[in-house]
Amino acid sequence: MSEPRVTGDETVADDIAVRVEHLTKVFGRRAGEAADRLAEGASRDEVAKLGTAAVIDASFEVRRGEIFVVMGLSGSGKSTLIRMLNGLLDATRGSVEVDGQPVTGIEPRRLRAVRRSQVSMVFQHFALLPHRTVLENVAYGLEIQGVDRDRRLELARRVVDRVGLAGWEERLPSELSGGMQQRVGIARALCADTPVLLMDEAFSALDPLIRREMQEQLVELQAELGKTIVFITHDLNEAMFLGDRIAVMRDGRIVQIGSPEEILTDPANDYVAQFVQDVDRTRVLTAASVMEPPAASVPLTVGPRGALKALRDVQSSTLLVTGPGRTVLGAVRDREVLRAVQRGDRDLAALVDADVHRVGPDTSLADLPELAITSGLPIAVVGDGGRLLGVIPRVMLLAALGNVPTDTSELAIVDLPPAVDPRLVAQTLDDTQEVSDAR
Amino acid sequence: MLDDVRLPLGAGVETGVEWITANLSVLFDLIRTIVLGMFEAAEVAFTEPPALVMIAILGVVAFAVRGWRMGVGTVVGLLVVVLVDQWDNAMGTLALTVVAALFALLIAIPLGIWAARSDTVSAIVRPILDFLQTMPAFVYLIPAIILFGIGVVPGIIATIAFAMAPGVRLTELGIRGVDREIVEAGAAFGASPGRILRQIQLPLALPTIMTGVNQIIMLSLSMVVIAAMVGAGGLGQDIVQALQRIDVGLGFEAGLSVVILAIILDRLTNALGSLQRHSPLARLRSRRVAAAGAPTPATGTVAPAAAETDPAALTGR
């Protein structure tokens, strides 16, 4: 116990950091009975006389190095849930494993050992020890782990520097602003050097500007340190920004687990759908989530005639042209293709406008409108080596920003109509077909 | 219709006390010896040095925890006690108060901690405390005399029983009042319950517990006259005498001495609960903290800043 535990135990092949199975928590004298009835399918209201069901049959897995957000309104059971992950509350039913070690149903001594070595916590109202300095607070976890004083203060000093509080080590928490106090809270959890971090509404008590800054810092820290973070929040924007995956809770049950995009674009029920209505979609959605399969693209080798046929099939005014390995070369417009076909040109390359915007699949939606207005051409989404993954027609972009469902038929989605008369295209194709057939 | 019925409560208690005297006299003799020994030691310690030396010592203590005003007040007040010829009595009373308060604390604080950690204990202890506190203090004297004989010991025992309650209550209140999240934080980092008690609950509950200590001392002092009725001596004895002889002058002098003693003890124990920033002791402590952190370059900026936030440090002595 004299040395702090090294994180990321390599001997555990499993990449699951936290495993929760059928976790139920009922408060009240007859909690067990209530839990059994819930398991048999009784509703929360039906067992209200037996006890208050805070968490009902929650199951999920948190992967190593992931930020897993549990989101719900107050009273949805999320705080109870997170307190069962480190055994601050006993589970009525179900099991929790952290790093392969059980947290539920073990004796207090072993539970304390798990808390010391596996999982630390950041609290909503910071929960710093007011009679200790910043440095002593940060070193608290190591102190309990039994690290000697000089060593733990040295390690704590490093973490204090890392969260940007250098120079404040000897102050008392009461001398710090809220944001700084929560930095101490985060530093304390980081300094304990456990692989899993639980954060209970960690930023909810901070004002919005500080909160945003802390969110960004947390993402940065997580990328650097590779901690597994379970983050509780009632703020959907925060959940969407931080979460690799999000579990949405309502009335003690988890109603959906998915990536922010899945939650946003494919809500499991009306509740989630209503919830995500107000979210700032541009912060969450990426190019990949709004792109279309690249139907409106042709290889360069098809020539003008092939391009014109494709244009006729997709009923669009523009077409992406790809080269070897499906790399994006540029786009062609129907008017020019038509003229080339009429002239009998065989070379499509001459018509290609290379000035097509190319974005990666992870590009934020917020960056796309600017590109869309500076070019009449669709935006190409490209992967490694410029390979075409999909295209974002301008109309799709508008639909995504306006939260208009593109997969229902209530609204007819109209892309830029072909700039030339389709009958003319058909006529031209027929005419040129004879020529090529005759040859 | 209830005329014929008589609940033999008094008889029962009498039988109980008789049984105790008959069977547990060894235990009570032991308690008597210990309490008497401590009282006599305290009395000797307070009365043996010349009055002026004691006054100087108490004056310095008062100055250290509360500042020069308190120091001067203490010296002047105690000089008045000496000048009305009540010094020895006052020191006897102080010894009784200190010993009774010490025992009351030794019982009250652990009991308060226990009550804070267990709702069952709390539910059992609360009515007992109500009983102890509201039962007229005179009543304690009767069994106390039977068990311990006449003298200072029954006075001290009765005082302990009467004064203990607020100590238990305020200790429990203080510990239960510690921010739940901070206690959770201790648990979340794997601290044991004992460690959480020592490092989090007791330090944070200290101001409330010190209020309990203050209350115990004040209640102990208020028992002075009653204890004197069973021969506890001290200032109370003069007051009882003055009452019997209708001696207004003696009564006032002894009574005033009690008041002076009470004010000094009250202010001292109050100050200990929350050491005021400008008290010389607190200043000494903050200087030591700054010195301890001195090897790091960062504290260079902290020390002067700490002095700035302490207005008394600028005005100085």
A/B interface, count of CB pairs below 8 Å? 74
Chain B residue numbers touching A126 (CB-CB < 8 A): 181
Chain position carrying tokens 């307190």 = A83
> Do B234 and B300 lie in a common domain?
no
Whether A27 maps to a domain, the answer reads yes
Is A88 within 8 Å of B188 when comparing Cβ atoms?
A: yes
**Please, is A67 exposed, middle or buried when counting C-beta atoms within 10 Å of its C-beta (0-12, 13-18, 19+)?**
buried
Interface test with B, best of A150, A170, A171, A199 (most B CBs within 10 A): A170
Indicate whether A258 and A346 sit together in one domain: no
Looking at residue B111, its pLDDT comes to 95
Q: Does residue A229 sit in the same domain as residue A329?
A: no
CB-based contact B190 A113, cutoff 8 Å: yes
A88/B182 touch (CB, cutoff 8 Å), yes or no: no
Q: Given this model, what pLDDT does residue A3 score?
A: 41
The answer to whether residues B161 and B288 belong to one domain is no
- What's the ipTM? 0.71
Instruction: Tell me the Cα Rg of chain A.
Output: 29
Q: Decide if B204 and A128 are in contact by the 8 Å CB cutoff.
A: no
The Cα of B117 is separated from the nearest Cα of chain A by a number of Å equal to 16
Tell me, yes or no, whether B55 lies in a domain.
Answer: no
pLDDT score, position B79: 94
Nearest CA in chain B to A86: B188
Q: List chain A residues with CB under 8 Å of B299.
A: 169-170
Of B182, B188, B299, the CB nearest to A129: B182
Contact A166 B298 (CB under 8 A): yes
B interface with A, Cβ–Cβ < 8 A, is 179, 181-182, 184-185, 187-192, 195, 199-200, 203-204, 289-290, 293, 296, 298-299, 301-302
A59: left (phi over 0), alpha (psi -120 to 50) or beta: beta
B184 with A171: Cβ contact below 8 A = no
Q: Are residues A354 and A213 in the same domain?
A: no
Residue B221 domain-assigned (yes or no): yes
* Domain co-membership, A275 together with A311: no
For residues A193 and A220, the answer to whether their CB atoms sit within 8 Å is no
Q: What's the whole-number mean pLDDT along residues B200-206?
A: 92
B286 and B206 in one domain?
no
- In chain B, the number of structural domains is 2
pLDDT for B2 beyond 80: no
Same domain? A98 vs A212: yes
Residue B278: its pLDDT value, please?
Answer: 53
Q: Is the CB of A145 less than 8 angstroms away from the CB of B190?
A: yes
Q: Do residues A263 and A343 both lie within one domain? A: no
Q: Do B189 and A123 touch (CB under 8 A)?
A: no
Residue B107 included in any domain: yes
Ramachandran sector of residue B177 (left: φ over 0; alpha: ψ -120 to 50; beta: rest): alpha
Higher pLDDT: B282 or A87? It is A87
Mutant choice from B189, B288, B296 vs A, greatest count of A C-beta within 10 A? B189
Please say which residue of A244, A264, A283 terminates a domain.
A283
Residues of B in contact with A166 (CB under 8 A): 298
CA distance A132 to chain B (A): 10
What's the average model confidence in pLDDT over B161-167? Answer: 91
Shared domain check, B207 and B306: no
Share of chain B above pLDDT 70, in %: 85
Q: Does B162 share its domain with B306? A: no
Distance (Å, whole) CA A363 – CA A390: 13
CB–CB of A88 and B179 under 8 A?
no
State the CATH number of the domain containing residue A53.
3.40.50.300
Cβ separation B187–A166 shorter than 8 A: no
Q: What is the pLDDT of residue B139?
A: 85
Q: Do residues B221 and B265 make contact, with C-beta atoms less than 8 angstroms apart? A: yes
Q: Are residue B99 and residue B244 in the same domain, yes or no?
A: yes
> With an 8 Å Cβ cutoff, are B179 and A127 in contact?
yes
CA atoms within 13 A on the CB side of B112: 30
Query: What pLDDT score was predicted for residue A320?
Result: 84
Using a CB–CB cut-off of 8 Å, the residues of A that contact B are 83, 86, 88, 112-117, 120-121, 123-131, 140-141, 144-145, 157, 166-171, 188, 192, 198
Contacts of A198 in chain B (CB under 8 A): 188
Question: Which of A263, A283, A303 is a domain's end point?
Answer: A283
Residue A138 to residue A171: CA distance in whole angstroms? 12
Last residue of a domain, one of A259, A283, A307: A283
- Is residue B306 scored above 80 in pLDDT? no
pLDDT tens series, chain A, 439 aa: 444 444 444 444 468 999 999 999 999 888 888 888 888 888 888 888 888 999 999 999 999 999 999 998 888 889 999 999 999 999 999 999 998 889 998 999 999 999 999 999 999 999 999 999 999 999 999 999 999 999 999 999 999 998 888 899 999 999 998 889 999 999 999 999 999 999 999 898 888 888 888 898 899 888 888 899 999 999 888 888 899 999 999 999 999 999 988 888 888 888 888 878 777 777 677 777 778 777 777 888 888 888 888 888 777 778 888 888 888 888 888 888 888 888 888 888 888 888 888 888 888 877 787 777 777 777 888 887 778 888 887 777 777 777 665 554 444 444 556 677 777 877 777 777 655 544 4
Residues A371 and A236 in one domain: no
Residues A310 and A410 in one domain: yes
In-domain check, residue A415: yes
Residues in chain B within 8 Å Cβ distance of A85? none
Q: Percent of chain B, pLDDT > 90?
A: 53
In a domain, A187, yes or no: no
CA A369, CA A357: separation in Å to the nearest integer? 11
B31-67: per-residue pLDDT in tens? 999 999 999 999 999 999 999 999 999 999 999 888 8
Q: Side by side, which strands form the sheet with A101-102?
A: A52-63, A16-27, A93-98, A101-102
Alpha-carbon gap, residue B18 to B7, rounded angstroms = 19
Asked if B179 and A113 come within 8 Å (Cβ–Cβ), the reply is no
Residue B78 lies in a domain: no
Flag whether B12 is in a domain: no
| pLDDT given for residue A357 in this prediction | 84
Residue that wins the pLDDT comparison between A356 and B94: B94
Instruction: State the nearest Cα–Cα gap between B146 and chain A, in angstroms.
Output: 48
Note whether A357 and A379 are within 8 A (CB): yes
Q: For residues A267 and A271, what is the distance between their CA atoms, to the nearest angstrom?
A: 8
Determine the pLDDT at residue B308.
37
**Is position A145 within any domain?**
no
List the one residue out of A269, A246, A254, A267 whose CA is nearest residue A22.
Answer: A254
Flag if A88 and B187 touch (Cβ within 8 Å). Answer: yes
B222 and B285, same domain (yes or no): no
Q: Answer whether residue A171 is part of any domain.
A: no
CATH number at residue A324: 3.10.580.10
Do B163 and B289 have their domain in common?
no
Which segments of B10-66 are extended strands (E)? none
Q: Structure tokens of B34? A: 């210990």
Contact partners, residue A115, CB within 8 Å, separation at least 6: A86, A87, B187, B188, B189, B190
CATH number at residue B153: 1.10.3720.10
Structure tokens at A213: 């800054």
pTM of the model: 0.72
What is the SS3 assignment for A300? helix
What's at B171, amino acid-wise? Answer: T
- Optimal mutation site among A144, A165, A190, interface B, most CBs of chain B within 10 A: A144
Determine, yes or no, domain membership for B145.
yes
For the record, the structure tokens of B75 come out as 């010296």
**Residue at B74 is within a domain:** no
Q: How far is B49 from chain A (nearest CA, A)?
A: 39
pLDDT level of residue B87 (50, 70, 90 thresholds):
very high
> Does residue A311 share a domain with residue A400?
yes
Does A426 lie in the same domain as A279? no
Per-residue pLDDT, B294: 42
Inter-chain contact A130–B293, Cβ cutoff 8 Å?
no
pLDDT at residue B300, as a whole number: 37
Nearest-CB residue to B190 (from A115, A129, A170):
A115
Contact A131 B184 (CB under 8 A): no
Report pLDDT for B33. Answer: 92
Measured between CB atoms, which of A112, A130, A170 is closest to B302?
A170
* Residue-wise pLDDT tens digits, B238-254: 999 999 999 999 999 99
Q: Are residues B178 and B308 in the same domain?
A: no
From A235, A221, A283, A222, select the one nearest A70 (Cα to Cα): A235
Between B185, B195, B302, which is nearest A123 by CB? B185
Show residues of chain A in contact with B189, CB under 8 Å. Answer: 115-116, 120-121, 140-141, 144, 188, 192
What domain count does chain A have?
A: 2
Q: Where are the beta strands (DSSP E) in B128-199?
A: none
Looking at residue B25, its amino acid is S
Domain that holds residue B106: 20-49+84-274
H-state helical runs in A333-413: 334-343, 368-373, 394-401
Q: Tell whether B54 is covered by a domain.
A: no
Å between A49 CA and nearest CA of chain B:
23
Last residue of a domain, one of B274, B289, B309: B274
The pLDDT of residue B1: 63
Domain that holds residue A343: 288-438
The reply to whether A215 falls in a domain is yes
Among B179, B189, B203, whose Cβ lies nearest the Cβ of A144? B189
- A167 and B298: CB-CB below 8 Å? yes
Distance of alpha carbon A232 from alpha carbon A254, whole angstroms: 13
Tell me, yes or no, whether A124 lies in a domain: no
With tokens 């799709």, the residue in question is A396
Instruction: Let me know whether A328 and A278 are in one domain.
Output: no
> What does the alpha-carbon distance between residue A198 and residue A108 come to, in Å, rounded to a whole number?
19
On whether both A211 and A333 belong to a single domain, the answer is no
How many Å apart are CA A407 and CA A423, to the nearest integer?
A: 29
Q: What is the pLDDT of residues B107-124, one digit of tens each?
A: 999 999 999 999 999 999
Clarify whether residues B247 and B297 are in a common domain: no
